Amino acid sequence: ASQITKTQDVGFADKPMLSIPSKIFFGPKDVAFTPYDEYWRNSRSICMLQLLNNKRVQSFSKIREEETSLLLKKIKDSIDSSQVVDLTELFVSMTNDVLCRVALGRKYCDGEEGKKCKTLLLEFVELLGVLNIGDFMPWLAWVNRFNGLNAKVAAEFSAFLESVIEEHMETKIDDEEEESADFVDILLQVQKENKSGFKVEMDSIKAIIMDMFSAGTDTTSTLLEWTMNELLRNPKTAKIKRRAVIKESLRLHSPVPLLPREAIKDTKVLGYDVAAGTQVFVCPWAISRDPTIWENLEEFQPERFLDSSVDYKGLHFGLIPFGAGRRGCPGITFAKVVNELALARMLFHFEFSLPNGTKPEDLDVDEALGITVRRKFPLLVVASPLYILQGGLPPTYARQIMFLFLWLLIVLPNYGGTILKRFSPRGSLGSAFMSE
């Protein structure tokens, strides 16, 4: 990994030309599947400087808060109706909705009307996980060509984005609204200003937006799903600081298992000859389970990160879930804040257990095949409120403040410790997360 993404980063910065992404991204004209050329440099720079920089990610905080509140409300509703919660479904919905609002300005997947749009989005992301055997063994290309069904999904998604872009073109945003601009607004602005001399065509806008969905939704919901999976299997670890928990989840379940690269010129890697055009796959999943790097590697032990400087930003090659080098993930900050907020809020408000008396150690950990490694089956849980005095999730904070006030005034000075221990043996769980 270090050879490919650091020492010889430029020499392996190309991506294999895969037939499905090339078709659905119009060339490809996105960022993730584009060869290492002038086009990639320009589109990547738009992503880094305009769409995913810290300031921009910060400007979407209200969207994150609202969408995580909605997630909590759905969990609360499940408690009120004594239903099992499908966390997988909730995470997929939340990440889609966040991306929809950030990229397109509003949710298109709400209500009955939106069901079709939701299915379309999910099918589109799935499409990228389809392996076209012909890309690797040309003589088998006939086995699964880019078939009619795939082409239909791609065309529908493209038409949907076109209508969204036209809608945006009709509504002008002024300078004051700059702060609340979504990705389509920003890309249209870059197209208009044409400062860098890079001509942003309509296909590029569509492809970059499509990239945000394909690279940002599945990966984020997969990470949330596996983190909850591991916290359910190892309840004690939830008390450990969340960053460590997320790092350990990324170590055991790198959402993207393979980083595809292509050699630009003839070279040598660790003594082996590698010819120009050779496809090379770095495997973060396997590296994270390498016994020469990790102890007790099958165990979920977030504490291993507590006194360690190892991070996932691409500098420690034993942990590269976001890749590394010039093709490394530009969405780390975006993903980090959504994940941390969703997890912290969920664990602060609720306790989760497995339905039908399933023991934590019996929770299945089967993985599905695809561009991301998701759980094979949905993660079903039973939720219960963590604090006995918590009166649900009011639309405003007024009720919570009132409860807090009463709690501080009457209950806490007298019986605080006893009550918390008695009714919520894991009371410190949420507090540990929120204290950060």
Name the residues that contact ligand HEM, by CB under 6 A: 5, 31-32, 44, 47, 52, 211-212, 215-216, 219-220, 223, 255-256, 259, 321-325, 327-331, 334-335
Cβ proximity to ligand HEM: between 94 and 386 the closer is: 94
Question: At its nearest, how many Å lie between ligand HEM and the CB of residue 311?
Answer: 14
419, two tokens: 């009550």
- Asked if residues 109 and 97 have their Cβ atoms less than 8 Å apart, the reply is yes
Question: At its nearest, how many Å lie between ligand HEM and the CB of residue 152?
Answer: 25
Question: At its nearest, how many Å lie between ligand HEM and the CB of residue 191?
Answer: 18
- Asked if residues 39 and 170 have their Cβ atoms less than 8 Å apart, the reply is no
Residues 149 and 153: their CA atoms lie apart, in Å, by 6
Cβ proximity to ligand HEM: between 373 and 382 the closer is: 373
Cβ proximity to ligand HEM: between 72 and 103 the closer is: 103
Cβ proximity to ligand HEM: between 44 and 76 the closer is: 44
329 is annotated as contributing to ligand binding: yes
Question: At its nearest, how many Å lie between ligand HEM and the CB of residue 168?
Answer: 18
Residues 329 and 324: their CA atoms lie apart, in Å, by 7
Cβ proximity to ligand HEM: between 11 and 385 the closer is: 11
Question: At its nearest, how many Å lie between ligand HEM and the CB of residue 215?
Answer: 3
| Closest chain position to ligand HEM (CB) | 323
Cβ proximity to ligand HEM: between 225 and 351 the closer is: 225
- Asked if residues 13 and 36 have their Cβ atoms less than 8 Å apart, the reply is yes
Question: At its nearest, how many Å lie between ligand HEM and the CB of residue 329?
Answer: 3
Q: How far apart are the first and last CA of the chain?
A: 32
Cβ proximity to ligand HEM: between 128 and 382 the closer is: 128
Question: At its nearest, how many Å lie between ligand HEM and the CB of residue 1?
Answer: 9
- Residues belonging to the binding site for heme are 329
Provide the annotated binding site: 329
